[in-house]
Amino acid sequence: MKGWTRIIAVGAFGLLALMGLTACKGNKAALPEPAAVGEPAEGGTAMNVQKQPFGRTPEGTAVEIYALTNDKGLKARVMTYGATLVSLEVPDRTGKPGDIVLGYEALDGYIKNSPYFGSTVGRYGNRIAKGKFTLDGATYRLATNNGENHLHGGIKGFDKVVWKAEPARGDGDVGVKFSYLSKDGEEAYPGNLAVTVVYSLTNANELRISYEATTDKATPVNLTHHSYFNLAGGGDVLGHELTINAEGYTPVDAGLIPTGEIRPVKDSPFDFTTPHSIGERIAQVEGGYDHNFVLRGGGGMIDLAVRVYEPKSGRIMEISTTEPGLQFYSGNFLDGTITGKGGKACLKHYGFCLETQHFPDSPNKPIFPSTILRPGAVYKSLTIHKFSTI
Protein backbone atom coordinates (compact mmCIF):
# COMPACT_ATOMS: atom_id res chain seq x y z
CA MET A 1 0.00 0.00 0.00
CA LYS A 2 3.02 2.29 -0.37
CA GLY A 3 2.53 5.61 -2.02
CA TRP A 4 -1.16 6.26 -1.42
CA THR A 5 -0.59 9.16 0.90
CA ARG A 6 0.19 12.09 -1.33
CA ILE A 7 -2.21 14.96 -0.63
CA ILE A 8 -3.72 16.80 -3.56
CA ALA A 9 -2.96 20.53 -3.60
CA VAL A 10 -6.16 22.48 -3.01
CA GLY A 11 -5.40 24.94 -5.82
CA ALA A 12 -4.99 22.20 -8.41
CA PHE A 13 -8.19 20.56 -7.16
CA GLY A 14 -10.17 23.79 -7.62
CA LEU A 15 -8.85 24.28 -11.14
CA LEU A 16 -9.68 20.70 -12.07
CA ALA A 17 -13.19 21.12 -10.62
CA LEU A 18 -13.71 24.09 -12.90
CA MET A 19 -12.46 22.20 -15.94
CA GLY A 20 -14.59 19.19 -14.97
CA LEU A 21 -17.71 21.37 -14.96
CA THR A 22 -16.82 22.74 -18.39
CA ALA A 23 -16.67 19.17 -19.66
CA CYS A 24 -20.19 18.57 -18.28
CA LYS A 25 -21.52 21.38 -20.46
CA GLY A 26 -20.69 19.34 -23.49
CA ASN A 27 -17.22 20.69 -24.22
CA LYS A 28 -15.54 17.81 -26.02
CA ALA A 29 -12.00 19.11 -25.28
CA ALA A 30 -9.58 16.54 -23.89
CA LEU A 31 -9.99 16.01 -20.15
CA PRO A 32 -7.37 17.74 -18.01
CA GLU A 33 -4.50 15.66 -16.68
CA PRO A 34 -5.68 14.52 -13.25
CA ALA A 35 -3.77 15.17 -10.04
CA ALA A 36 -1.75 12.19 -8.92
CA VAL A 37 -2.74 10.49 -5.67
CA GLY A 38 -0.42 7.53 -6.10
CA GLU A 39 3.32 7.23 -6.41
CA PRO A 40 4.74 5.05 -9.16
CA ALA A 41 4.74 1.47 -7.94
CA GLU A 42 7.92 -0.05 -6.59
CA GLY A 43 10.56 -0.48 -9.26
CA GLY A 44 9.79 2.93 -10.76
CA THR A 45 6.99 1.83 -13.11
CA ALA A 46 4.30 4.09 -14.50
CA MET A 47 1.48 2.20 -12.80
CA ASN A 48 -0.62 4.58 -10.75
CA VAL A 49 -3.98 5.93 -9.69
CA GLN A 50 -5.11 9.52 -10.16
CA LYS A 51 -8.30 11.32 -9.33
CA GLN A 52 -10.15 14.45 -10.38
CA PRO A 53 -13.59 16.00 -9.91
CA PHE A 54 -16.21 14.87 -12.45
CA GLY A 55 -19.06 17.30 -11.80
CA ARG A 56 -22.05 17.15 -9.45
CA THR A 57 -25.37 15.35 -9.32
CA PRO A 58 -28.55 17.50 -9.62
CA GLU A 59 -28.74 17.27 -5.78
CA GLY A 60 -25.28 18.88 -5.58
CA THR A 61 -23.24 15.84 -4.56
CA ALA A 62 -19.69 15.97 -5.88
CA VAL A 63 -18.64 13.11 -8.16
CA GLU A 64 -15.04 12.07 -8.67
CA ILE A 65 -13.32 10.04 -11.32
CA TYR A 66 -10.25 7.84 -10.81
CA ALA A 67 -7.85 6.88 -13.56
CA LEU A 68 -5.97 3.62 -13.10
CA THR A 69 -3.01 2.81 -15.33
CA ASN A 70 -0.89 -0.30 -15.52
CA ASP A 71 2.55 -0.71 -17.10
CA LYS A 72 1.22 -2.29 -20.31
CA GLY A 73 -0.98 0.49 -21.65
CA LEU A 74 -4.20 -0.55 -19.92
CA LYS A 75 -6.12 2.43 -18.52
CA ALA A 76 -9.46 2.35 -16.70
CA ARG A 77 -11.45 5.38 -15.56
CA VAL A 78 -14.04 4.76 -12.88
CA MET A 79 -16.32 7.30 -11.22
CA THR A 80 -18.10 7.45 -7.89
CA TYR A 81 -21.56 7.86 -9.50
CA GLY A 82 -22.75 4.28 -9.84
CA ALA A 83 -19.19 2.98 -9.23
CA THR A 84 -19.14 3.17 -13.02
CA LEU A 85 -16.43 2.23 -15.51
CA VAL A 86 -16.38 5.29 -17.79
CA SER A 87 -13.61 4.23 -20.15
CA LEU A 88 -11.26 1.31 -20.67
CA GLU A 89 -8.31 1.80 -22.97
CA VAL A 90 -6.80 -1.40 -24.29
CA PRO A 91 -4.05 -1.65 -26.94
CA ASP A 92 -4.90 -3.36 -30.24
CA ARG A 93 -2.57 -5.78 -32.03
CA THR A 94 -0.41 -2.87 -33.26
CA GLY A 95 -0.14 -1.50 -29.71
CA LYS A 96 -2.52 1.40 -30.41
CA PRO A 97 -4.84 2.02 -27.43
CA GLY A 98 -8.60 2.29 -27.98
CA ASP A 99 -11.56 2.76 -25.66
CA ILE A 100 -13.54 -0.49 -25.71
CA VAL A 101 -16.61 0.46 -23.60
CA LEU A 102 -19.62 2.56 -24.55
CA GLY A 103 -20.57 5.54 -22.43
CA TYR A 104 -20.50 9.31 -22.22
CA GLU A 105 -17.67 11.82 -21.91
CA ALA A 106 -19.34 13.72 -19.05
CA LEU A 107 -21.44 12.93 -15.97
CA ASP A 108 -24.55 14.58 -17.37
CA GLY A 109 -25.34 11.79 -19.85
CA TYR A 110 -24.99 9.12 -17.16
CA ILE A 111 -27.49 10.98 -14.99
CA LYS A 112 -30.02 11.81 -17.70
CA ASN A 113 -30.12 8.69 -19.84
CA SER A 114 -27.91 5.68 -19.35
CA PRO A 115 -28.86 2.08 -20.11
CA TYR A 116 -26.50 1.07 -17.26
CA PHE A 117 -23.37 2.03 -19.25
CA GLY A 118 -20.45 0.62 -17.22
CA SER A 119 -22.50 0.54 -14.02
CA THR A 120 -22.22 -1.46 -10.86
CA VAL A 121 -25.65 -3.06 -10.70
CA GLY A 122 -27.43 -3.95 -7.45
CA ARG A 123 -28.90 -4.70 -4.98
CA TYR A 124 -30.20 -7.37 -7.35
CA GLY A 125 -28.77 -7.44 -10.87
CA ASN A 126 -31.21 -8.66 -13.53
CA ARG A 127 -34.91 -9.39 -13.01
CA ILE A 128 -37.20 -10.42 -10.17
CA ALA A 129 -40.61 -11.52 -11.46
CA LYS A 130 -43.40 -9.04 -10.72
CA GLY A 131 -41.03 -7.33 -8.24
CA LYS A 132 -42.10 -9.78 -5.58
CA PHE A 133 -40.44 -12.40 -3.40
CA THR A 134 -41.01 -14.10 -0.08
CA LEU A 135 -38.22 -14.54 2.44
CA ASP A 136 -38.52 -16.13 5.89
CA GLY A 137 -42.32 -15.80 5.71
CA ALA A 138 -42.41 -12.09 4.77
CA THR A 139 -43.41 -10.89 1.30
CA TYR A 140 -41.46 -8.01 -0.23
CA ARG A 141 -42.73 -5.83 -3.07
CA LEU A 142 -40.10 -4.07 -5.14
CA ALA A 143 -40.49 -1.50 -7.91
CA THR A 144 -41.70 -2.89 -11.24
CA ASN A 145 -39.45 -0.81 -13.48
CA ASN A 146 -39.24 -3.20 -16.44
CA GLY A 147 -42.76 -3.97 -17.63
CA GLU A 148 -44.32 -5.94 -14.80
CA ASN A 149 -40.91 -6.99 -13.45
CA HIS A 150 -38.17 -5.58 -11.25
CA LEU A 151 -34.84 -4.88 -13.01
CA HIS A 152 -31.32 -4.06 -11.77
CA GLY A 153 -32.21 -2.96 -8.24
CA GLY A 154 -35.19 -0.74 -9.03
CA ILE A 155 -35.82 2.96 -9.64
CA LYS A 156 -32.65 4.11 -7.91
CA GLY A 157 -30.33 1.14 -7.94
CA PHE A 158 -26.63 1.05 -7.09
CA ASP A 159 -25.93 2.46 -10.57
CA LYS A 160 -27.57 5.78 -9.61
CA VAL A 161 -26.05 6.46 -6.18
CA VAL A 162 -22.78 8.19 -5.35
CA TRP A 163 -20.28 5.81 -3.75
CA LYS A 164 -17.39 6.70 -1.45
CA ALA A 165 -13.99 5.96 -2.96
CA GLU A 166 -10.40 5.51 -1.88
CA PRO A 167 -7.34 4.15 -3.62
CA ALA A 168 -6.85 0.51 -2.63
CA ARG A 169 -5.04 -2.20 -4.48
CA GLY A 170 -7.51 -4.95 -3.76
CA ASP A 171 -6.12 -8.09 -5.35
CA GLY A 172 -4.61 -6.18 -8.27
CA ASP A 173 -1.53 -3.97 -8.57
CA VAL A 174 -3.34 -0.64 -8.65
CA GLY A 175 -6.96 0.03 -7.81
CA VAL A 176 -9.81 1.94 -6.22
CA LYS A 177 -12.31 0.76 -3.65
CA PHE A 178 -15.89 2.00 -3.69
CA SER A 179 -18.16 1.70 -0.64
CA TYR A 180 -21.88 2.19 -0.23
CA LEU A 181 -24.34 1.59 2.57
CA SER A 182 -27.73 0.60 1.20
CA LYS A 183 -30.17 1.32 4.02
CA ASP A 184 -32.78 -1.08 5.34
CA GLY A 185 -35.88 -0.52 3.17
CA GLU A 186 -34.02 1.18 0.30
CA GLU A 187 -35.86 0.24 -2.89
CA ALA A 188 -37.94 -1.92 -0.47
CA TYR A 189 -35.17 -4.47 0.11
CA PRO A 190 -34.69 -5.72 3.69
CA GLY A 191 -31.57 -5.01 5.75
CA ASN A 192 -28.74 -2.51 5.89
CA LEU A 193 -26.36 -3.78 3.25
CA ALA A 194 -22.74 -2.58 3.40
CA VAL A 195 -21.18 -3.06 -0.04
CA THR A 196 -17.68 -2.61 -1.43
CA VAL A 197 -16.52 -2.92 -5.02
CA VAL A 198 -12.83 -2.82 -5.91
CA TYR A 199 -11.71 -2.15 -9.46
CA SER A 200 -8.04 -2.98 -9.96
CA LEU A 201 -5.58 -3.49 -12.79
CA THR A 202 -2.70 -5.92 -12.85
CA ASN A 203 0.41 -5.95 -14.99
CA ALA A 204 -0.86 -9.23 -16.41
CA ASN A 205 -3.33 -6.97 -18.28
CA GLU A 206 -6.31 -7.79 -16.12
CA LEU A 207 -9.17 -5.61 -14.94
CA ARG A 208 -10.38 -7.24 -11.73
CA ILE A 209 -13.72 -6.37 -10.13
CA SER A 210 -14.27 -7.79 -6.66
CA TYR A 211 -17.34 -7.34 -4.51
CA GLU A 212 -18.08 -7.84 -0.82
CA ALA A 213 -21.25 -7.26 1.15
CA THR A 214 -22.65 -7.85 4.62
CA THR A 215 -26.15 -7.35 5.97
CA ASP A 216 -28.04 -7.13 9.26
CA LYS A 217 -31.19 -8.84 7.87
CA ALA A 218 -31.56 -11.62 5.31
CA THR A 219 -31.74 -10.12 1.81
CA PRO A 220 -31.25 -11.13 -1.81
CA VAL A 221 -27.96 -9.82 -3.28
CA ASN A 222 -26.76 -10.17 -6.86
CA LEU A 223 -24.10 -7.67 -7.89
CA THR A 224 -22.78 -7.35 -11.41
CA HIS A 225 -20.98 -5.10 -13.85
CA HIS A 226 -22.77 -3.67 -16.88
CA SER A 227 -20.16 -2.46 -19.39
CA TYR A 228 -21.15 -2.46 -23.04
CA PHE A 229 -18.04 -3.79 -24.76
CA ASN A 230 -16.96 -3.14 -28.31
CA LEU A 231 -13.46 -4.51 -28.81
CA ALA A 232 -13.27 -2.89 -32.27
CA GLY A 233 -13.79 0.50 -30.60
CA GLY A 234 -16.83 1.30 -32.81
CA GLY A 235 -19.41 -0.02 -35.27
CA ASP A 236 -21.59 -3.06 -34.60
CA VAL A 237 -20.33 -6.01 -32.58
CA LEU A 238 -21.77 -8.77 -34.77
CA GLY A 239 -18.30 -9.84 -35.98
CA HIS A 240 -16.99 -10.48 -32.44
CA GLU A 241 -16.38 -14.19 -31.83
CA LEU A 242 -17.54 -15.62 -28.54
CA THR A 243 -16.73 -18.85 -26.77
CA ILE A 244 -18.91 -19.33 -23.68
CA ASN A 245 -18.04 -22.02 -21.18
CA ALA A 246 -21.66 -23.13 -20.74
CA GLU A 247 -23.55 -26.23 -21.75
CA GLY A 248 -26.87 -24.87 -20.54
CA TYR A 249 -28.86 -21.65 -20.41
CA THR A 250 -32.04 -20.50 -18.71
CA PRO A 251 -34.86 -19.99 -21.28
CA VAL A 252 -37.14 -17.03 -20.59
CA ASP A 253 -40.75 -15.93 -21.00
CA ALA A 254 -41.84 -12.82 -22.93
CA GLY A 255 -40.84 -10.60 -19.97
CA LEU A 256 -37.34 -12.18 -19.90
CA ILE A 257 -38.04 -14.09 -16.67
CA PRO A 258 -36.49 -17.58 -16.63
CA THR A 259 -39.04 -20.37 -16.88
CA GLY A 260 -37.04 -22.42 -14.35
CA GLU A 261 -35.76 -24.84 -16.96
CA ILE A 262 -32.04 -25.30 -17.58
CA ARG A 263 -31.88 -26.20 -21.25
CA PRO A 264 -28.85 -27.68 -23.04
CA VAL A 265 -27.33 -25.26 -25.57
CA LYS A 266 -26.48 -28.12 -27.92
CA ASP A 267 -27.87 -27.76 -31.47
CA SER A 268 -29.16 -24.26 -30.76
CA PRO A 269 -27.99 -20.67 -31.46
CA PHE A 270 -26.99 -20.58 -27.77
CA ASP A 271 -24.19 -23.09 -28.29
CA PHE A 272 -21.00 -21.05 -27.94
CA THR A 273 -18.96 -23.97 -26.58
CA THR A 274 -16.96 -23.53 -29.81
CA PRO A 275 -16.31 -20.02 -31.23
CA HIS A 276 -19.17 -18.34 -33.11
CA SER A 277 -19.64 -14.74 -34.09
CA ILE A 278 -22.44 -12.86 -32.34
CA GLY A 279 -24.09 -12.18 -35.70
CA GLU A 280 -23.96 -15.71 -37.10
CA ARG A 281 -27.20 -16.99 -35.55
CA ILE A 282 -28.63 -13.90 -33.87
CA ALA A 283 -31.58 -13.78 -36.30
CA GLN A 284 -32.72 -17.12 -34.88
CA VAL A 285 -33.03 -15.64 -31.39
CA GLU A 286 -36.18 -13.53 -30.99
CA GLY A 287 -35.16 -10.03 -29.92
CA GLY A 288 -31.46 -10.96 -29.92
CA TYR A 289 -29.37 -12.48 -27.13
CA ASP A 290 -30.43 -11.46 -23.62
CA HIS A 291 -30.00 -14.74 -21.75
CA ASN A 292 -28.35 -16.19 -18.71
CA PHE A 293 -25.83 -18.94 -19.42
CA VAL A 294 -25.20 -21.63 -16.80
CA LEU A 295 -21.43 -21.71 -16.47
CA ARG A 296 -19.59 -25.00 -16.34
CA GLY A 297 -17.65 -24.05 -13.22
CA GLY A 298 -20.90 -23.79 -11.28
CA GLY A 299 -19.71 -20.85 -9.17
CA GLY A 300 -17.54 -20.42 -6.12
CA MET A 301 -14.23 -21.05 -7.89
CA ILE A 302 -12.68 -18.63 -10.35
CA ASP A 303 -13.21 -20.19 -13.76
CA LEU A 304 -13.11 -19.10 -17.40
CA ALA A 305 -16.61 -18.00 -18.39
CA VAL A 306 -16.16 -16.47 -21.83
CA ARG A 307 -13.55 -15.61 -24.42
CA VAL A 308 -14.17 -12.83 -26.92
CA TYR A 309 -12.06 -12.27 -30.04
CA GLU A 310 -12.43 -9.29 -32.34
CA PRO A 311 -10.73 -10.02 -35.69
CA LYS A 312 -10.14 -6.44 -36.95
CA SER A 313 -8.30 -5.14 -33.86
CA GLY A 314 -6.92 -8.52 -32.78
CA ARG A 315 -8.15 -7.82 -29.24
CA ILE A 316 -9.09 -10.73 -26.99
CA MET A 317 -10.97 -10.47 -23.71
CA GLU A 318 -11.28 -13.47 -21.40
CA ILE A 319 -13.63 -13.21 -18.45
CA SER A 320 -13.25 -15.49 -15.44
CA THR A 321 -15.59 -15.41 -12.48
CA THR A 322 -16.67 -16.99 -9.23
CA GLU A 323 -20.32 -16.55 -10.32
CA PRO A 324 -22.45 -19.43 -11.62
CA GLY A 325 -24.12 -17.44 -14.43
CA LEU A 326 -23.38 -15.06 -17.30
CA GLN A 327 -25.98 -12.77 -18.88
CA PHE A 328 -25.04 -12.29 -22.51
CA TYR A 329 -26.92 -9.23 -23.78
CA SER A 330 -26.29 -8.20 -27.39
CA GLY A 331 -27.30 -4.53 -27.02
CA ASN A 332 -30.76 -5.17 -28.48
CA PHE A 333 -32.40 -2.11 -26.92
CA LEU A 334 -29.78 0.35 -28.19
CA ASP A 335 -31.65 2.20 -30.94
CA GLY A 336 -29.51 5.19 -31.92
CA THR A 337 -31.29 7.66 -29.65
CA ILE A 338 -28.22 7.87 -27.43
CA THR A 339 -25.25 9.90 -28.64
CA GLY A 340 -22.27 8.67 -26.71
CA LYS A 341 -18.54 9.37 -26.59
CA GLY A 342 -17.08 11.13 -29.61
CA GLY A 343 -20.57 12.28 -30.65
CA LYS A 344 -21.32 8.81 -32.02
CA ALA A 345 -24.83 7.33 -31.99
CA CYS A 346 -25.19 4.02 -30.13
CA LEU A 347 -27.09 1.90 -32.63
CA LYS A 348 -28.56 -1.56 -32.11
CA HIS A 349 -25.81 -4.13 -31.40
CA TYR A 350 -23.08 -1.47 -31.10
CA GLY A 351 -22.07 -2.95 -27.75
CA PHE A 352 -22.67 -6.14 -25.79
CA CYS A 353 -22.73 -6.94 -22.08
CA LEU A 354 -21.33 -9.99 -20.32
CA GLU A 355 -22.79 -9.76 -16.82
CA THR A 356 -21.39 -12.33 -14.41
CA GLN A 357 -24.14 -13.06 -11.93
CA HIS A 358 -26.43 -15.47 -10.12
CA PHE A 359 -29.41 -16.43 -12.23
CA PRO A 360 -32.30 -13.98 -12.81
CA ASP A 361 -35.32 -14.34 -10.52
CA SER A 362 -33.46 -16.64 -8.11
CA PRO A 363 -35.46 -15.40 -5.08
CA ASN A 364 -38.51 -17.06 -6.72
CA LYS A 365 -36.70 -20.11 -8.09
CA PRO A 366 -35.62 -22.40 -5.24
CA ILE A 367 -33.86 -24.74 -7.71
CA PHE A 368 -31.42 -21.98 -8.74
CA PRO A 369 -28.31 -21.27 -6.60
CA SER A 370 -29.40 -19.11 -3.66
CA THR A 371 -28.87 -15.33 -3.70
CA ILE A 372 -29.87 -14.86 -0.06
CA LEU A 373 -27.27 -13.24 2.18
CA ARG A 374 -27.79 -13.66 5.92
CA PRO A 375 -26.36 -11.68 8.86
CA GLY A 376 -22.93 -12.99 9.81
CA ALA A 377 -22.12 -14.21 6.28
CA VAL A 378 -20.00 -12.28 3.78
CA TYR A 379 -21.04 -12.02 0.12
CA LYS A 380 -17.93 -12.30 -2.06
CA SER A 381 -17.69 -12.25 -5.82
CA LEU A 382 -14.79 -11.78 -8.22
CA THR A 383 -14.72 -11.23 -11.98
CA ILE A 384 -11.50 -10.86 -13.99
CA HIS A 385 -11.29 -9.42 -17.51
CA LYS A 386 -7.98 -10.39 -19.09
CA PHE A 387 -6.80 -8.69 -22.27
CA SER A 388 -4.41 -9.83 -24.98
CA THR A 389 -4.07 -9.62 -28.76
CA ILE A 390 -3.27 -11.90 -31.69
Cα–Cα distance measured from residue 325 to residue 317, given in angstroms and rounded to the nearest whole number: 18
Cβ of residue 132: shortest distance to ligand GLA, in angstroms? 19
Binding mask 67-106 for ligand GLA (x = CB under 6 A): ----------------------------------------
Cβ of residue 291: shortest distance to ligand GLA, in angstroms? 8
Determine if 211 is a binding residue for ligand GLA (CB under 6 A).
Answer: no
**DSSP bridge partners of 177:** 166, 198
Binding mask 123-152 for ligand GLA (x = CB under 6 A): ---x------------------------x-
Backbone phi, psi, residue 167, to 5°: -60, 135
Nearest 5°: the CA angle 151, 152, 158 is 145
- 212: helix, strand or coil: strand
Beta strands in 57-101 (DSSP E): 62-69, 75-79, 84-91, 97-99
Given 107, 223, 232, 353, the residue binding ligand GLA (CB under 6 A): 353
Stretch that binds ligand GLA, among 79-87, 269-277, 326-334, 342-350 (CB under 6 A): 326-334
Given 20, 34, 91, 115, the residue binding ligand GLA (CB under 6 A): 115
Stretch that binds ligand GLA, among 161-169, 267-275, 327-335, 376-384 (CB under 6 A): 327-335
Determine if 159 is a binding residue for ligand GLA (CB under 6 A).
Answer: no
User: Which residue lies nearer to ligand GLA by CB, 329 or 368?
Assistant: 329
Cβ of residue 353: shortest distance to ligand GLA, in angstroms? 5
Site for ligand GLA in 212-271 (CB under 6 A): 256
Cβ of residue 148: shortest distance to ligand GLA, in angstroms? 14
User: Which residue lies nearer to ligand GLA by CB, 52 or 227?
Assistant: 227
Determine if 113 is a binding residue for ligand GLA (CB under 6 A).
Answer: no
Residues forming the active site: 226, 355
Cα–Cα distance measured from residue 353 to residue 91, given in angstroms and rounded to the nearest whole number: 20
- 128: helix, strand or coil: strand
Cβ of residue 126: shortest distance to ligand GLA, in angstroms? 6
Given 329, 350, 359, 379, the residue binding ligand GLA (CB under 6 A): 329
> How many Å separate Cα 266 from the centre of its chain?
28
Determine if 384 is a binding residue for ligand GLA (CB under 6 A).
Answer: no
**DSSP class per residue in 328-380:** EE--TT--S--B-GGG-B--TTS-BEEEEESPTTGGG-TTSPP-EE-TT--EE
User: Residue with the closest Cβ to ligand GLA?
Assistant: 329
Determine if 158 is a binding residue for ligand GLA (CB under 6 A).
Answer: no
Site for ligand GLA in 279-318 (CB under 6 A): 290
Site for ligand GLA in 361-380 (CB under 6 A): none
Nearest 5°: the CA angle 378, 85, 380 is 10
**DSSP class per residue in 160-188:** GSBPEEEE--TTSSEEEEEEEEE-TTGGG
Given 87, 327, 371, 383, the residue binding ligand GLA (CB under 6 A): 327
Cβ of residue 147: shortest distance to ligand GLA, in angstroms? 10
Beta carbons within 8 Å of 35's beta carbon, 6+ residues apart: 8, 9, 12, 13, 16, 50, 51, 52
Cα–Cα distance measured from residue 159 to residue 178, given in angstroms and rounded to the nearest whole number: 12
Beta carbons within 8 Å of 34's beta carbon, 6+ residues apart: 16, 50, 51, 52, 65, 67
The single-letter DSSP state of residue 216 is S
User: Which residue lies nearer to ligand GLA by CB, 18 or 345?
Assistant: 345
Cα–Cα distance measured from residue 229 to residue 118, given in angstroms and rounded to the nearest whole number: 9
Cβ of residue 311: shortest distance to ligand GLA, in angstroms? 25
Sign of the alpha-carbon torsion through 278, 307, 302, 191: negative
User: Which residue lies nearer to ligand GLA by CB, 66 or 352?
Assistant: 352
Which stretches of the chain bind ligand GLA, using CB under 6 A?
115-116, 126, 151, 256, 290, 327, 329, 333, 353, 355
